[in-house]
Amino acid sequence: MTNQTAQSLAEVARYAGVSLSTASRALNDAYGVSAATRMKVLAAASDLDYVVSPDASRLARGTMGRVAVVVPHIERWFFGQMVSGIERVLSAADLDLMLYHVGDAVDRRDFLARLPARRKVDAVVVVAFPVNEEDRARLELIGAKIIAAGGQSASYPYVCIDDYEAGRLAMDHLLSLGHRRIAMIAGTDPDQPGWPAVSGRTRAYEEALRETGIEPDPSLTRVVDWGPLNAANAMEEILDSTQETPTAVFTHSDELAFGALRTLRRRGLRVPEDISLIGIDNHPMAEVLELTTVAQDVSEQGAAAGRLVLRALAGEGSAVAGTGEIAPIKLVTRSSTRKV
Amino acid sequence: MTNQTAQSLAEVARYAGVSLSTASRALNDAYGVSAATRMKVLAAASDLDYVVSPDASRLARGTMGRVAVVVPHIERWFFGQMVSGIERVLSAADLDLMLYHVGDAVDRRDFLARLPARRKVDAVVVVAFPVNEEDRARLELIGAKIIAAGGQSASYPYVCIDDYEAGRLAMDHLLSLGHRRIAMIAGTDPDQPGWPAVSGRTRAYEEALRETGIEPDPSLTRVVDWGPLNAANAMEEILDSTQETPTAVFTHSDELAFGALRTLRRRGLRVPEDISLIGIDNHPMAEVLELTTVAQDVSEQGAAAGRLVLRALAGEGSAVAGTGEIAPIKLVTRSSTRKV
DNA sequence: TTCTCTTTCGGAAGCGCTTCCGAAATTGTT
DNA sequence: AACAATTTCGGAAGCGCTTCCGAAAGAGAA
């Protein structure tokens, strides 16, 4: 029974003995076609192993059924989690996800100059990545909704954590353990010039200290590109540049903490006996390395972003500019921190 | 100068004062249209901020310009790297990448039942993930090329490492350091039933031992789902179930090694003083944790897979079934292994 | 200057589908 | 049984583009 495959609706219609339009209706509308003929068409379609060409369908219908997801780094944990969450809800909604890697400023320019005008997508999700007013305007002009994930925005709906709160959770934890001399390794992305240079996490560090009556010591602070090795170097610098070793280190992310951890171990400093260490993320390796951290569910944030897309496409008012979701965070105490 | 945007080629043609067909040719063919008129059209297009609708273009042309990338886990390092490499070459070739997450067998069934028939893509790259003969046939029927990444296949082009070789590199390293009592933590994916149960890495373990005159001891071996924590447990089991502690541990991946490392540390076993540890991958954390490993460049494998796609689409004979690329691997010696 | 050979361009068909519109068939009403 | 109200279905236009084909225009040859 090698039943041939139908490549077009026309073939199915002919096979079913109805007109093209009726066949189309049977497959979609479901109205204006009798149950009997619908069955006939459906049977024919199944017989011929036919499925509509979504492209032609959309061309005629005028919608895309696709959403772009733009990430600055595909390979990092955070972005993988995010994409995974987004994919989950988009695929459930039968939307296709087109992945775009936009590394540096050049890429970004290129991407925004091309995709938008190409009207290939109904929406674009930008992950931890800024879109300026002009680009936003262009995108909206062609009817593409914008959603931000992993970063706040006044111009479009977003989902992210409260970076300041996350920082405070970490810092307050250290302070409550009695730590006073606390170093910080801050993460930054040189390729994202538009991104707020000083994140809420840094602000949290400074304010938490000041509220405890401590003036932040610049020699205890380093700003590095995300990545464990950079943090490892920063940790060395910090240890070298100060006479009095800090009793705790707050890093902007777990991956930075891992790097710091390496340096500490190499220097013979035990964690947490000699020095406490805390990160942010709850990266899977954090559990393995017993790192105390501020947990966030990135995959779930991705899912939330996906839901924002769905709402925006449905034209619901709830997905308007500035409407954001703040994802929950939570201190996860492991054995990398202890009383001073 | 709020120049309005053109939504269709027709508008551009009118604006440029040429016919629709001429405008189309000016934008594509580049043949059969004089330089002067081409300039006119190009100027008009630029004036009106116009870009062709790739969908309509493809509908008319009959090609998709898209390739599906199917991964069982988006969020893991390996897959992130792979996708990142694929994306790099596809986007350079102006192909869109549609990402599909296919977790378990149900997803797989669903995916293969839908996408193929939907003729949405020109090719599909399956990452570390089996496609049976029937599915392959269906995909080819609709003209979609298949490429495998991170796994071998007799039915379509692939790119992967030689797992056996990788395992041998690791095992031979340990053996050459004098280790004789070597444990193994093997990785497996319960959601990938079609995947070879016993990978080349396991075979390498056994053969390397036997060649040295050692009969593999089952109590020194565990097979776990990928993920550090599982490996941590496996490591505990191994330590518990044997009187004589192994002098070295070979894990199928670095992430498994990380988990094993945790257990070893907790048990007070020093690496490498008391026990040597080796993995496969050269995961970024391996450098941080000083793990000796067998390095592979996964991103580059992704890029290679992308190139295979390009060749397959170009109809080149070099991308035929079974034609594979074996990516290079290399032992990276760090301080987690030493002479026994 | 007249007649070919090219080159350049417009017309029109068609990609596979949706959907408006009106004709035919069916059902209900009196 | 005759007529109106529905329902079901086919015809055809059109989504935005590509491309074949042939006409018009320009260039070259005689």
- In order, the DSSP letters of B240-305 are HH-SS--SEEEESSHHHHHHHHHHHHHTT--TTTT-EEEEEE--HHHHHTT-EEEEE-HHHHHHHH
Nearest to A119 among B53, B73, B285 (CB): B53
Q: Tens digit of pLDDT for each residue in B289-331?
A: 999 999 999 999 999 999 999 988 877 654 566 678 999 999 9
Nearest to B59 among A59, A69, A290 (CB): A59
Residue nearest to nucleotide C20 (CA to C1'): A21
CATH number of the domain at A64-161+299-328, please? 3.40.50.2300
The mean per-residue pLDDT over the stretch B207-228 comes to: 95
Q: Which residue of B has its CA nearest to A258?
A: B288
pLDDT for the residue B5 = 75
The alpha-carbon radius of gyration of chain A (Å, integer) is 26
What letters, b where the CB count within 10 A reaches 16 and e where it falls short, cover A158-175? bbbbbbbbbbbbbbebbb
CA distance A139 to A126: 12
CATH topology of domain B163-296: Rossmann fold (3.40.50)
The mean per-residue pLDDT over the stretch B210-232 comes to: 95
- Average pLDDT taken over every residue of chain B: 88
The answer to whether the CB atoms of B119 and A74 lie below 8 A apart is no
Nearest to B194 by CA among B267, B130, B265: B130
Interface test with A, best of B87, B107, B124, B285 (most A CBs within 10 A): B285
The answer to whether the CB atoms of B59 and A56 lie below 8 A apart is yes
Q: What is the mean pLDDT of each run of 10 residues along chain A (340 residues)?
A: 71 91 87 88 88 85 85 90 95 88 81 68 87 77 83 85 96 97 92 68 96 95 93 96 93 96 93 96 94 97 95 68 86 96
pLDDT for the residue B59 = 84
pLDDT for the residue B139 = 74
Q: How far is B207 from chain A (nearest CA, A)?
A: 31
pLDDT for the residue A193 = 60
CA distance B274 to B259: 17
pLDDT for the residue B48 = 87
Position B196 confidence tier, pLDDT thresholds 50, 70, 90: low
pLDDT for the residue A7 = 81
CATH topology of domain A9-60: 434 Repressor (Amino-terminal Domain) (1.10.260)
Q: What does strand C contact on the protein, if contact means CB under 7 A?
A: A 7-10, 20-21, 24-25, 27-29, 52-53, 56-57, 59-61; B 17-22, 25, 32-38, 56, 59-60, 62
Position A205: which residue type? Y
CA distance B303 to B88: 7
Lookup: nucleotide whose C1' is closest to B63 CA: C15
B9 contact partners, CB below 8 Å, separation of at least 6: B20, B23, B24, B27, B50, B52
Task: Determine the 3-state secondary structure of A184 from DSSP.
Answer: strand
| Boundaries of every domain in chain A | 9-60, 64-161+299-328, 163-296
Asked if B13 and B20 count as a contact pair (C-beta separation under 8 A), the reply is yes
The answer to whether the CB atoms of B98 and A97 lie below 8 A apart is yes
Element (H, E) at A126: strand A123-127
Q: How far is B162 from chain A (nearest CA, A)?
A: 23
Return the structure tokens found at B222.
């565990």
Q: Backbone phi, then psi, for A183, in 5-degree steps?
A: -90, 160
CA distance B137 to A256: 47
- Give the C-alpha distances (Å, rounded to integers) separating A331 from A91, A159, A298, B6, B37: 32, 20, 15, 52, 66
Plot region of A226 (φ>0 → left; ψ -120 to 50 → alpha; else → beta): beta
Residue nearest to nucleotide C9 (CA to C1'): B22
Q: Which of A72-86, B57-71, B112-126, B165-179 has the highest mean pLDDT?
A: B165-179
Nearest to B203 by CA among B189, B178, B190, B221: B221
Is the pLDDT score of B107 beyond 90?
no
pLDDT for the residue B1 = 40
Nearest to B272 by CA among B336, B184, B217, B228: B336
Distance in Å from C17's C1' to A59's CA comes to 8
Q: Which of A1-5, A335-339, B126-130, B133-137 is predicted with the least confidence, judged by mean pLDDT? A: A1-5
Asked if A9 and A26 count as a contact pair (C-beta separation under 8 A), the reply is no
Fold match flag (B9-60 vs B64-161+299-328): no
